[in-house]
Structure 1
Amino acid sequence: MSMVEPHKRQMTMEPGEILRRTEAFVRERMSGEGTGHDWWHVHRVRRVALRLAGEEGADAYVVELAALLHDVADHKFHGGDAGAGPRAAREWLSGLGVDAEVTEHVATIIAELSFKGAGVATPMSSPEGRVVQDADRLDAIGAVGVGRAFAYGGSRGRPMHEPEAAPEMHDSFERYKSSTGPTINHFHEKLLLLRDRMNTPSARRMAEGRHRFMEQFLERFHAEWDGLD
């Protein structure tokens, strides 16, 4: 069933109205979600993505639409289906009468965006995609990233830490998707790798402090785990 009712479809809708309706749709769909992939995650990603777009000269309209829709059908919550997000974005934007080229650009960004494993490259094919990917990854690190990691791990029934379970550097998206390791391992398998995978100079600068915070957090975590502090 279409996510946009026929009587709401307007083929000449202005960009500002498209953004307003998209925000309302995403906010309603994702509010109250408890895994760290909620509306406020989207809000933060949009805000940072627009900041980066201004600094890097990317198309702000495409960036904002992609940031708003990037997690509306995340593969983690749709049976591992990596195509769910792009399909949902296409359906929503087409229903609003968004230009086909813009719609496809947004869907492509969402298809390319996700981290797929330590050994898997995830290049973005446009400046707008690079900006949105950076903003999404910045929200996965630092203090907010630490909170989100444990929220997601808890939602999946994963232990915080298993000292005998070594981190796994996944060499395929399938192995990464099927991982069930403890949350602390996720820092080594993904989060600590993101600083060096930022696309833009602006994001690399922002990532430095967030990366240092995670290193300090892990040092403190292990000291307390071992009863040393």
Structure 2
Amino acid sequence: MEKGEQLLKIQNYCLPLFQDDATGHDFFHMKRVARMARLIAKEENADTFICEAAAWLHDVGDHKLFADPEKALKETDLFLQSIDITDEWLKQIKTAMKDVSFSKGQIPETIEGKIVQDADRLDAIGAIGIARTFAYGGVRGQLIYHDTNRDKTSIQHFYDKLLKLKAGMHTKTAKRIAAERHLFMEEYLARFFKEW
């Protein structure tokens, strides 16, 4: 089976897993991250196949999204083996997926892992990132903002996480894209507080 066909099968595998998610971790998030990972991998001379495959699957097993994360990861391993992903590729894909999460605070060990982390973080900032923040906050019952109790509001999430992401980008390509998206968020917040 050719790599293009394997990537299509991975994409189709992700559709039922994420299509109904309303927190901003939906199928289209996976698609954007996969597309961005491929773009960065080309620019940075990394393995585009490993980056794209890992990007499609990077949220599989996330405890926020799966009732049984271990089971989801095991099923994904079996699926990948069923589409002729070699043991070496499987190891590389899993390594690239392993340290993507912001909350884990880890720096990925491979360039492919760094690229997938960059691609995921780029989708958390800019216009899409703003939309995802409010979608996630709505699903979790967070207030948009509060004059005195800001801690668990969607706006506070910008300060707790989103505005910190630009500084943690690994690749030159991601740093360039992040600078523009970061600026847009700062402009948005200035406008938000003016209107508030």
The TM-score with structure 2 as length reference comes to 0.92
1:67 matched to 2:51? The reply is no
| Structure 2 residue aligned with 1:178 | none
Consecutive unaligned residues of structure 2, counting only runs of 5 or more, are none
Quote the residue 1:138 is aligned against: 122
Q: Are positions 1:206 and 2:170 aligned together? A: no
Alpha-carbon spacing, 1:87–1:162, altered in 2? closer, same or farther (3 Å): farther
Pairs within 5 Å for 1:25-104: 25-78=13-66, 86-104=73-91
State the one-letter code of the partner of 1:90.
D
Q: Does 1:123 align with 2:107?
A: yes
Taking only aligned residues, the RMSD between alpha carbons, in angstroms, comes to 1.9
Structure 1 residue ranges without an equivalent (≥5):
1-12, 168-180
Q: Does the C-alpha gap of structure 1 residues 206 and 22 become closer, same or farther in structure 2, counting only changes over 3 Å?
A: same
State the alpha-carbon separation in 2 of the partners of residues 202 and 86 from structure 1: 30
Q: CA deviation at 1:220?
A: 1.2
| Matches of 1:214 and 1:87, distance apart in 2 | 38
Q: In the alignment, is the contact (CA less than 8 A) between 2:14 and 2:56 conserved in 1?
A: yes
Whichever of the two has the greater Rg, that structure is: 1
Q: How far has the Cα of 1:51 moved from its partner?
A: 0.7
What is the number of equivalent residue pairs in this alignment?
196
Higher share in helix? 2
Rounded Cα–Cα distance in structure 2 between residues aligned with 1:33 and 1:79: 13
Q: Give the match's secondary structure for 1:75.
A: coil
Task: Say whether residues 1:182 and 2:182 are aligned partners.
Answer: no
| 1:161 matched residue in structure 2 | 145
Q: CA deviation at 1:74?
A: 2.2
Is 1:151 the counterpart of 2:135? The answer is: yes
Percent sequence identity over aligned pairs? 40
